[in-house]
Chains A and B, each alone.
Chain A
Amino acid sequence: MMALRELSSLEKSLGLKNPNKYSTQGDKKVPVLHSNNGPALVGLVTIATHLVQEAKRPELLGGSAEHKALVQQWLEYRLTKVDGCHKDDIKTILKDLNSYLEDKVYLAGNQFTLADTLMYYGIHHIIVDLVIQEKEKHMNVTRWFDYVQHYTGVRHHVPPVVVLRNRVYTSGHH
């Protein structure tokens, strides 16, 4: 069901007027998009990508070949690593994202893309559970998360997470 809520939020943020028809399939409730002109599309990322194209917002899929690849990579990462992750994997996910985001504003560099939106939805439940010190330990993830949740029209179905911008644990070592 989560995936459908994400897709509905995405539709809103893309400004798509007519809501699409969705269903889910399989144990994992993979979303399916039923459209009038063409076969059904299966899979969260596939559908999300399709919606972005429908909304004529190709820049959200990355401007250059390189950015497109990065967007695809992080969308896949969201599905294969973040979704259904075991709690032991959370540390690795946060650590890796944190070091990746060290010199980047968004996942594909300086441009906001679909990867940010879906990663934000997918990682939200992890960030919500972090205590302040953990948020600070993963400063870059927290900063990115805060940008994204304040990005116009992104945050729809998930509650905001408060992010302190001044460091509290100044002596923290990482």
Chain B
Amino acid sequence: MKLFVSDGNPHCVKVLAVLEFTGVKCDVKHVNHEERVVPYLSRPALPALLLPSGTHLFSPNSICQYLIELNGQESSDIVNQWLEWEATELQPAVMQALHMVVLQGKGADTPRVLRGPLSYLDQSLSQRTTPFLTAEMVSVADVVLWAALYPILSDSSLVSGNQTLQLWFERVGMLAACVSAVQTVLQGKGLKAESLKTYLQRQPTTHHGQGQVQGRGTQPCNSPEGGGDDDCVLSEEEIQSAVVTWGKGLTDLPMVPERQHPILPQEGKRNVLVTSALPYVNNVPHLGNIIGCVLSADVFARYGRLRGWNVLYVCGTDEYGTATENKAREEGLTAQQICDKYHAVHASIYQWFQVDFDFFGRTTTKKQTEIAQNIFWRLHERGFLLEDIVEQLRCEACQRFLADRFVEGTCPFCSYPEARGDQCDKCGKLINAVELREPTCKVCSQTPVVQSSKHLFLDLPKLEAELEQWLERSTGSGDWTANAKQITRSWVRDGLKPRCITRDLKWGTPVPHPDFSDKVFYVWFDAPIGYLSITANYTDQWEKWWKNPQQVELYNFMAKDNVPFHSVVFPCSLLGAQDNYTLVNHLVATEYLNYEDTKFSKSRGVGVFGDMAKDTGIPSDVWRFYLLYLRPEGQDSAFSWVDMATKNNSELLNNLGNFINRAGMFVSKFFESCVPAMALQQEDKRLLAQVGWELKQYINLMDRVKIRDALKCILNISRHGNQYIQVNEPWKKIKGDETDRQRSGTVTGVSVNVACLLSVMLQPYMPTVSHTIRQQLNAPPSVTGTLLQGTGNFVCSLPVGHHIGTVSPLFQKLESEQIESLKKRFGGQQPEEEEEAKPKPKTTAQPATTPASDPAAQTAVNGADAERARELTLAVAEQGEKVRTLKGQKAEKTVIGAEVTKLLELKKQLSLAEGKDPEPVLTKGKTTAQPATTPASDPAAQTAVNGADAERARELTLAVAEQGEKVRTLKGQKAEKTVIGAEVTKLLELKKQLSLAEGKDPEPVLTKGKKK
């Protein structure tokens, strides 16, 4: 049993107090507010209790009741009643009150929302003769209510009246369990606890009932323009400490040393090894690949260097495999020549995106062979390899064994029709190519045949126990993204099977074993070893990074489809080799980036590919900004041209660029380019504290690789800055009297220092812009390192008298014409002809979303839908009842009229659903009612449409009758048994289909038959 709690969360006071009170044995783990402990909830929920059965409890009150129950006490009706009251009545009021008091600084008196509940509680207590809520003794209800009220009632300024309540509160608060829980969670500070504020800021906005709590969403991305201004309430101490930091200046802070290659781990430093998934050499990477791997890793590596960590960032192209062989044949070159050519293409794309690798290598090197073969032999010697005969697909037409990526077929697990030979894009399960149903060769579309040969397997089951131990440690201590943990968990849970590591191909790392001399290593075994061999090509002392888990922290960046290879398979290879290898500590996986709600597709020319980005004329930094702003962190996101223009114009131009430019311009125009004297007033100090707080958040988020969220902190700072300038109007005050002029100077000086801080925070995201700002401000080189040390230091880095350079605008507006033309050029809008010409659009791996432009599909689904018709019939009946009631009550005519209109609308929809009324006007209304989203061209969808189709049911009824007649006739004619049997089978089949069409038959087997 394990209890997860977080700082500052009053609910955690409840459970910790009850835990100690009951003395139940349970591990307690402190985690961050955003930690998603409960796997089935989409939002973080804390506290959470992991039960012995593996299920999680997330309701604090239920956790408390459970602990009490374990202690042998049963809940009574009255305890239940108080707990229910706490959850439904008290909690919403408390949350609203805390929000007002802590975040908005309102309320010197008991917040109005709490008056009702508090006096109810006071009255109930007064009416009792017992010292506690339910009995002579403390019950779980006392502790839960006490903890819920603790932050409010511990502040004497907020409590007035309610004497009995106060006595009860003090009585419960004297329990040792309560004292120590408050100390642990709120540092004994109640409302003043910094951690409470952080907790409240992270609470999602709730739409719930009367408890209108307005908080900053957990994902700032969802409310980019929205607030963040008024909910950051600072205490006097925070403001004072911000002023002290500010006064420190740059002098006593250390410099970031220049990078000197080869970078090697150093004693006493944080040694961080960063890798991004190796891009396959033949594919020009698209924006999704770039954000998923190299760009994300680049931002983190740059950030780490700024923080003064000893960072090594390596990547390279993955070059072996049949795809390369093929490409070579096509272009009349050798495989090596192809790799050379495309490796250069990749390198130049990443260079354009300013991805700052310490080394960008490749897998077709001597080191790769050496290291892969070494690992192979070590696994072999230790008995982790098995031999087995494998059946493989061979295409007779193409005269070769088919690599996984050259076979496509129906997934044996989920029946997805376009599963690849190694993995299904839909259910994510790994597939052996021969298990695919209806396999086809992707080159010639012929059906391949199965042939057998002898292969070697990595014995994953034998390594499973060791793997699980390691996973427990690594996921427990490192920053694994939630999806990475989840994918890994489901893999291990399903049980591991031996995996083949050899292949009948030419272009690969040769297997050194004499019995397998004509084979090469399978890419999944070989490619991750590329990280090691690429490092070995960078420095001979590569083992100092890769065989040094004591000193090195390894971060792997990838898209989520790559997770199993990095969290299960590769670690097994390294564990089995028993050579003290460095294993991944932090596995950072993104979700998918879609392109304008469809999938990037090279073959269809949809989407922006790495090599084209620079032809758009949009600067590399803006690309980086937008991709990072969209980074599919936690959920899929979609690239959209219009959105890109909006974000460029609103966030970069109007917010960030505007602020930095104004700050610089004021210095150069009003103060002859010299930073003016600053006499800080309360308002300036507040800004320092606000900026300092955002800086802390930024560091906090970046440390945990929340790259997208951290970007929002930067934008928040410039928003604060713009507001500050707007309110203080330095451009007006400069024309006023001496006091005004001084004020203008202070505001300008503070602003330009904020701009300087922003240049540093921006460096990982927009290196060129960052550099330009520092040049314009003539910032001392030491700023880059110093501001981000520790938990962040917003110091005055441009002191009075500092001479700045020439200031000029940083960003350009993206015009809508420009965007429209780019959108056309890159296929953002697919012409409908193309859709029709293709029998099977390849968008199926993505959430199926038919462009709204296809009304035919919508009508088809909606048109004759029995299910919907039944629903509507009910709705019509209900609405009719309502109208009759209203009429009976002699309600106002307008009210009745409105309900009648609704009724008529429902009736129309019903007719439509029954396929009676073709009125096209209604299609629109119906579209919203039913987000039908299946491409009409998809055969599966056709079945779908038929599935619950009244029309089809009618046809089938006829068919059944006809077939029945036929069978009877044959029987009458005493036909041969086999003949009759065949017809009976047909009849049964038809009957089954009929049941299915009527939605009656649950038998899944039939689905297949129906598809044909």
Contact = CB atoms under 8 A, between A and B. Distances in A.
A69 B69 contact: yes
B162 to A, nearest CB: 20
Contacts of A73: 57-59, 62
A165 interface: yes
Contacts of A161: 871
Interface stretch (A9-17, A87-95, A148-156): A87-95
Interface string B208-247: 1110000000000000000000000000000000000000
B42 A65 contact: no
Contacts of B506: none
Given A86-B207, A171-B941, A49 B848 contact: no
Nearest to B930: A131
Contacts of A95: 42
Interface in B918-977: 929-934, 938, 940-941, 943-945, 947-948
B738 interface: no
B489 interface: no
Contact of A46 (B39, B80, B847, B1007): B80
B770 interface: no
B1002 interface: yes
Contacts of B274: none
A166 B996 contact: yes
Contact of A99 (B39, B931, B940): B39
Given A92-B43, A164-B999, A169-B934, A65 B207 contact: no
Interface string B838-857: 00000011111000000000
Q: How large is the interface on A (under 10, 10 to 19, 20 to 34, 35 or more residues)?
A: 35 or more
Contacts of A79: 84, 87-88
Contacts of B867: 132, 162, 164
B84 A99 contact: no
A42 interface: yes
Given A65-B70, A66-B53, A173-B846, A86 B208 contact: yes
Nearest to B207: A86
Contact of B69 (A44, A65, A174): A65
Given A46-B80, A49-B77, A169-B944, A76 B40 contact: no
A143 to B, nearest CB: 10
A88 B59 contact: no
B77 A41 contact: yes
Contacts of A39: 78
Contacts of B109: none
A148 B440 CA distance: 44
Nearest to B849: A173
Contact of B63 (A46, A69, A134, A165): A69
Interface string B189-210: 0000000000000000001111
Interface residues of B, number: 71
Given A50-B77, A131-B868, A132-B865, A76 B61 contact: yes
Contact of A171 (B61, B929, B940, B947): B940
A171 B938 contact: yes
A45 B77 contact: no
A66 B55 contact: yes
A89 B207 contact: yes
A65 B66 contact: yes
A69 B84 contact: no
Nearest to A135: B867
B175 interface: no
A5 to B, nearest CB: 15
A7 B697 CA distance: 49
A55 to B, nearest CB: 14
Interface of B: 39-43, 51-53, 55, 57-59, 61-63, 65-66, 69-70, 77-78, 80-81, 83-85, 87-88, 91, 207-210, 415-417, 426, 844-848, 865, 867-868, 870-871, 874, 929-934, 938, 940-941, 943-945, 947-948, 996, 999, 1001-1004, 1006-1007, 1011
Given A131-B930, A168-B947, A171-B848, 4 more contacts: A80-B88, A109-B55, A162-B870, A166-B1006
Closest 8 CB pairs of A and B: A86-B207, A165-B1002, A69-B66, A73-B62, A43-B84, A168-B947, A100-B40, A99-B40
Interface of A: 27-28, 30, 39, 41-46, 49-50, 65-66, 68-70, 72-73, 76-77, 79-81, 83-86, 88-89, 92, 95-96, 99-100, 102, 109, 128, 131-134, 159, 161-162, 164-174
5 contacts: A28-B209, A69-B63, A76-B59, A76-B83, A173-B844
